[in-house]
Amino acid sequence: MNFKQITLSLALGALGSLAAFAQAPVKVQKAELSINFGIAKGELISAGDMLVFVDQEMADGSFSIEKTNIAGWTEADGVITVSTVKPVKDRSGERSRFAFRLIEGNSAALATWYREAPKNGAAMPMASTETIAPVTKSAEAAAATAAGVTKPEFKEKSYPAKQKRFPVGSSEGRLVIQEKQIAFEANGDTKRSRIWELKD
């Protein structure tokens, strides 16, 4: 058993123990995560109020998202896109938008998990095929307001797009423009997705 297998086994074992203690159902599905210029293969796990991605290739790239941190949930052409209120760190760095494609499993089960109210009783918005932009102010905008500086709130934009590949071929998807990054989310083929960080 190699290091990756040991890490994955420990992570799944810990989640299993936690779920057994809390009497929460655990759903494990193989998935691909769109990252900068490629994909990360792993396991997408829903357990209690947590959505966990276990990165099979880079253990430190694994992360979890609390249900109450989810600002938007969309599904289109086999790709589940999750937007978060607060940034979450994966192997690409901190970001607030994650695109998953299930290799095995049922996206309906994840949508059902998402629609269920978290343990604190807060209601969650319904899953949709439309792009949902985060509705909270960024930390930078809040700081600017506190300092008396008026800064317009950035609104996420999404457009249909086509990525052309040289010498032949193309991929259809969506171009998503966020405050700190631009992403191309390919329809049904996450390995064609791309993310570009915007830096000064």
pLDDT tens sequence for the chain (200 residues): 554 554 545 455 545 544 444 556 888 999 999 887 788 999 999 999 999 999 999 999 999 999 999 999 988 878 899 999 999 999 988 889 999 999 887 888 888 899 888 865 555 544 444 443 443 445 555 555 556 555 566 677 777 777 777 677 777 777 778 777 777 777 766 667 777 777 76
Question: How far is Cα 20 from Cα 123, in angstroms, rounded to an integer?
Answer: 25
pLDDT of residue 25: 80
Residue with tokens 């994650």: 98
Q: Please give the helix or strand (H or E) that residue 108 lies within, else none.
A: helix 107-115
Question: How far is Cα 81 from Cα 75, in angstroms, rounded to an integer?
Answer: 6
pLDDT of residue 151: 57
Burial code (b: 16+ CB inside 10 Å, e: under 16) for 81-92 equals bbbbbeebebbb
DSSP secondary structure string, 126-191? Answer: PPBSS-----SPPHHHHHHHHTT---PPP--EEEEEEEE-SSS-EEEEEEEE-SSEEEEEETT-GG
Question: How far is Cα 38 from Cα 40, in angstroms, rounded to an integer?
Answer: 7
pLDDT of residue 89: 92
Calculate ∠ Cα 155-110-44, nearest 5°.
90
Question: How far is Cα 83 from Cα 87, in angstroms, rounded to an integer?
Answer: 9
pLDDT of residue 140: 56
Domain count, the chain: 1
φ, ψ (nearest 5 deg) of residue 164: -95, 135
Question: How far is Cα 142 from Cα 146, in angstroms, rounded to an integer?
Answer: 6
CATH number at residue 100: 2.30.29.30
Residue span of the structural domain in which 49 resides: 3-197
pTM: 0.58
